Amino acid sequence: MRIIGVDTGGTFTDFVVWEQGSLRVHKLLSTPDAPEQAILRGIAELNLAPGGLTLIHGSTVATNAVLEGKGVRTLFITNRGFGDLLTIGRQARRDLYDLQPPPVPPPVPSELCWEIGGRLAADGSLVEPLTAEDLAELRRAVARLQPEAVAINLLFSYLDEGPERAIAAALPAGLFVSRSSEVLPVAGEYERGIATWLNAWVGPLVAGYLGRLCCALPGARVSVMQSSGETVAAEQAAEQAVRLLLSGPAGGLVGARFAAGQSGQERLLSFDMGGTSTDVALIEGVPQLTREGRIGGYPVAVPMVDMHTIGAGGGSIARLDAGGLLLVGPESAGADPGPACYGRGGREPTVTDANLVLGRLRPERFLGGRMPLATEAARRALRRLAQRMGCGLEEAAAGVVAVANEHMARALRVISVERGVDPRGHTLVSFGGAGGLHVCALAEALGMRRALVPVHAGVLSALGMLVTRPGRLLTRTWLCALETLDGAEVNRQLEALAEQGAASLAAEGVERGYLEAVFTLDLRYRGQAYTLNVPWLGRSATLEAFHARHEQRYGHRLDLPVELVNLRVTLAAPATAVTLAAVPSQASPMGQAHVHGFSAPVPLVDRAALGVGAPLLGPAVITDAHATTWLAPGWIARRDDAGNLQLERD
């Protein structure tokens, strides 16, 4: 069995290969304009033939298209009187007290919003029929407007998908068509409409990219990570583009949970710092999911990992604003030209340049020595900033790192302290190419005493792809009072939903007998707008579980009827059995590094030279083939049996 996990980031593309019971890792610069080029180059450099290869991929194509506003020309079809649905939204202001907010362009221009019949009432009865003339007029409009994709979002389509199917059947062949009754069959016409439009808007781009990748890898089986942390075959992924918006970061959370679990850690704050951005999340046993995520300002109601992302990475550019204040990010030098120290023409100072100037990053050991860094280029970039700041070179570099640390510490507080979680009881798991350089400072900022830098931390998201389970998350709205429901009927509805997912997975070659199903319900008290998700345990036990969950979350329970809103089914097949065999200690002489702020050189240690359980006291610089860890003063590092670095404050 040959399986390769690939994570395409804004700066680097990471590879982890599982073959004959052992892991191989690789890393190279991304090719943002054509991400598949870096993937194909990496596979060639790893000497892997496509035939018989299984590739699990974290893609940023859909994410980048949404963030950059570069989707295809899309026609939005809805019922008469609702053409402005996506423009009006929930009428929520981005800045509540801004009396003169800048105008925001609508998601879909008015000329591409088409109104039609086929309207249903809340009970599923027909309010306005879909006529032959409606369909004929629609075909004429499509011929005139020439869209590349179509999004169909009719009212209450989750009750009866017939009208949406009829509209889709009347459209010309070759159009990319998304139906809300298929993309997100739940209540809430605005959220359902946005999800359906996003799916159509970026779907052709995802389909084209995956098609090129699969054609270039004949005989390979290609899967893509979904935002919820399960994989889907590439052939089906293009139809579910909206479920790929957090594809890469989801792999990171799966990898963090897997690696930390090898060291017996389950309550985690994860911190993934790459070249372009930083993702943080709370993991208590399993990664948490949310249906209230946002991408590029749009609500995305499909299930996705619950994380907070900021524009702070190793490539984040440092500059002064008009008032002389030091800013770091969100602009990034990316992969081309990259930070100044990459020697590819970059001139702006970045966080990576600052770490190099401070001595925490070793130029001769970057990427295991395969990509030596240009120290003098970094110093020139920082020197220009230091002159504008009126301070020394190293002081400017330290300021850049301090500002970046504060951005990331604030993000960690958002997903912990602001949610009532005390981070001091958790372990900070740091990964990504740049994470180890900042882990001690961030743990100190949150009062945490434990941190963990996993083995293969520099490519952990790619490792997460390998240990991810093929699966599906299915949802359907069923509004009714839970107390009046027959438990057997709830089981029948959940089983029917599970059958849809099992059929989809069977098309990927996943046998039904290996699937694990989890049934949950979205419940609320009558009159509430938001729901809580609880396991289906039978009517009485589920009701009690909901009351207890509500009391835990909000501090009280109510004597009101409980409403069932959505049925949810999670299906998952077994993951690939990957083991993190302890890397044997390798004799390596301890070097020295001159680090700013210390009068004497600090130890420079190859991570592979650390004996299992042997303590290393900070300050020290710990390097491996794909990442560097700065062990700050007052911290002790020990390598455990799994190869992870366990850090503890003295």
Give me the pLDDT at residue 181, please. 94
Work out the mean pLDDT of the chain and round it to a whole number: 90
> Is the pLDDT score of 223 beyond 70?
yes
Q: Is the pLDDT of residue 589 over 70?
A: no
Backbone angles phi, psi at 344, to 5 degrees: -115, 20
SS3 24: strand
DSSP strands (E only) in 131-226 = 149-152, 176-179, 221-225
Peptide bond connecting 619 to the previous residue in cis, omega within 30 degrees of 0: yes
Q: Quick one: DSSP state of residue 363?
A: T
Cβ 565 vs Cβ 474: under 8 Å: no
pLDDT reading at 87 higher than 90: yes
Residue 281's pLDDT is 92
Read off the pLDDT of each residue in 101-119 and give the average, rounded to a whole number: 92
- CATH hierarchy code of domain 72-203: 3.40.50
Does the N-terminal peptide bond of residue 102 adopt cis geometry, omega within 30 degrees of 0? no
pLDDT 10s digits, 184-200: 999 999 999 999 999 99
69-83 pLDDT per residue, tens: 889 999 999 999 999
The yes-or-no verdict on residue 585 having pLDDT over 70 is: no
Q: Which of 92-101, 244-253, 295-304, 568-577 shows the lowest mean pLDDT across its residues?
A: 92-101
Average pLDDT over residues 369-378: 90
Say how far apart CA 545 and CA 559 lie, in whole Å: 14
Assign 289 a pLDDT band (cuts: 50, 70, 90): confident
Residue 159 has pLDDT above 80, yes or no: yes
Reply yes or no on domain 2-66+207-247 having CATH 3.30.420.40.
Answer: yes
What kind and span of H or E run contains 17?
strand 12-19
Q: Average pLDDT for residues 247-272, to the nearest whole number?
A: 90
Q: Is residue 61 very low, low, confident or very high in pLDDT (cuts 50, 70, 90)?
A: confident
Mean pLDDT along residues 359-386: 90
Q: What angle do CA 487, 301, 150 make, to 5 degrees?
A: 110
How far apart are the C-alpha atoms of 325 and 175, rounded to whole Å?
50
pLDDT confidence of 358, banded at 50, 70, 90?
A: very high
pLDDT at 418 over 90: no
Least confident of 34-43, 104-113, 285-294, 584-593: 584-593
Q: Comparing 385-394, 551-560, 575-584, which segment has the lowest mean pLDDT?
A: 575-584
How many C-beta atoms lie closer than 10 Å to residue 623's C-beta?
23
pLDDT in tens, 464-475: 998 888 889 999
Q: Indicate whether 584 pLDDT > 70.
A: no
Q: Are strands 450-453 and 304-305 parallel, antiparallel or unpaired?
A: unpaired
Query: Taking 80 as the threshold, does the pLDDT of residue 94 lie above it?
Result: no
The architecture in CATH of the region 471-572 reads 2-Layer Sandwich (3.30)
Number of H helices, E strands in the chain: 16, 35
In the block, tokens 């942390």 appear at 229
Average pLDDT on 96-100 reads: 85
Lowest mean pLDDT among 11-20, 338-347, 489-498, 580-589: 580-589
What percent of the chain clears pLDDT 70, i.e. is strictly above it?
98
Q: Pull the structure tokens for residue 259.
A: 């690696």
Token digits for 286?
A: 């399993």
Q: Which part of the chain has CATH 3.30.1490?
A: 471-572
Going from the C-alpha of 282 to that of each of 110, 256, 411, the distances in angstroms are 40, 11, 11
Q: What is the pLDDT of residues 568-579, one digit of tens each?
A: 999 998 887 777
What's the pLDDT score for residue 34?
87
Q: Are strands 74-79 and 149-152 parallel, antiparallel or unpaired?
A: parallel
- Alpha-carbon distance values, 246 to 10, 169, 281, 593 (Å): 13, 31, 13, 38
Q: What is the pLDDT at residue 20? A: 80
What pLDDT does 189 receive?
Answer: 93
Start and end residues for every CATH 3.40.50 domain found in the chain: 72-203
Q: What is the pLDDT of residue 588?
A: 62
CA distances from 577 to 18, 19, 43, 460, 513 (A): 10, 11, 22, 16, 18
Tens digit of each residue's pLDDT (9 = 90 or more) over 434-461: 899 999 999 999 999 999 999 888 899 9
* Predicted confidence (pLDDT) at residue 610 exceeds the cutoff of 70: yes
Please report the pLDDT score of residue 68 as a whole number. 78
Pinpoint the residues of the chain covered by CATH 3.30.420.40: 2-66+207-247
Q: Using the predicted structure, report yes or no on whether residue 637 has a pLDDT greater than 90.
A: yes
pLDDT score, position 586: 61
Q: How far apart are CA 189 and CA 183, in angstroms?
A: 12
State the CB neighbour count (10 A cutoff) for residue 488.
Answer: 8
